[in-house]
Structure 1
Amino acid sequence: MGKYKKLSHVVYKCDYHIVWVPKYRLRILKGAVKELVEQDIRMLCEWKSCEVEELNVQEDHVHLLVSVPPKVSISKLMGTLKGKIAIKLFKSYPKLKKKPYWGNHFWSRGYFVSTVGLDEEMIKKYVKFQEKEEKRVEEQQQRFDF
């Protein structure tokens, strides 16, 4: 991710850290659902000429570190990712659609996005190891709960 990329009339380095969650932050991104989400994110990013640098799908949110060409807007990329994946999830797992709280929407409305600059390596490590750290903190909290 440290190198510049080229298109026919532009040299660029547009790297983003994006985080988004399922509706109500339900812990549903596990097992086969997690695998489908991971595969589709990679496939859709490739289709949009984006390069996935790091990807971490956790039970209740997704971290994506991605290099995006200047011709692709982040809002359109996110619309594509969230829309196409939701449609595929509801088709692959019809039981999800029967739950009254989904209302034909799998993902929450918003997302977090940040440009990646000088702290690129730090953010890469954060995305890669955040799940381990979260589990460690969760286990620590459970020890003190009665």
Structure 2
Amino acid sequence: MVFTAKYRFQILEGMVKSLVEYDLQLISSWKDVQVIELNIQKDHIHLVFSTPPKVSISEYIGILKEKMVIKLFKTFPNLKEKPYWGNHF
């Protein structure tokens, strides 16, 4: 799975990258998803994972994106300002 930041803004570095990596691991362990490979670049994330049969891929991705983005915007409110994108990630 590949996630990109809206408009490919290069924001996934430093503390933002650390927070995304931590949250991704935390949410994955909460849903019993095994993260096989994770690579975070400045404007996108590569994620290889294995889900148990009881968890659908769309459910996992939806929860992952929702929880990560909410925490990102609470921790870094400057991401809601221009030239970025408001409440969208």
State the TM-score, normalizing by the size of structure 1: 0.58
RMSD, aligned α-carbons: 1.1
Deviation at 1:100, TM superposition (A): 5.7
Aligned-pair CA distance for 1:103:
2.8
2:64 corresponds to which letter in structure 1?
L
Structure 2: runs of 5 or more not aligned: none
Number of aligned residue pairs: 89
The alpha carbon displacement at 1:99 in A equals 2.4
For 1:32 and 1:103, locate their aligned partners in 2 and report how far apart those are by CA, in whole Å: 20
Q: Which residue in the other structure is 2:27 paired with?
A: 44
Secondary structure at the aligned position of 2:11 is classed as coil
Question: Structure 2 matches for 1:110-129, cutoff 5 A?
Answer: none
For 1:1-146, list aligned pairs within 5 A.
18-99=1-82, 101-106=84-89
- Residue type matched to 1:43 in 2? L
Larger Rg over CA atoms: 1
Does the CA contact (< 8 Å) of 2:79 and 2:86 recur in 1?
no
**Which runs of 4 or more aligned residues in structure 1 lie more than 3 Å from their structure 2 counterparts after TM superposition?**
none
Q: Secondary structure at the match of 2:86?
A: coil
Normalised to the residue count of structure 2, the TM-score between the two structures is 0.94
CA deviation map 1:66-100 (0-9, x unaligned): 11001111111111111111100100001111226
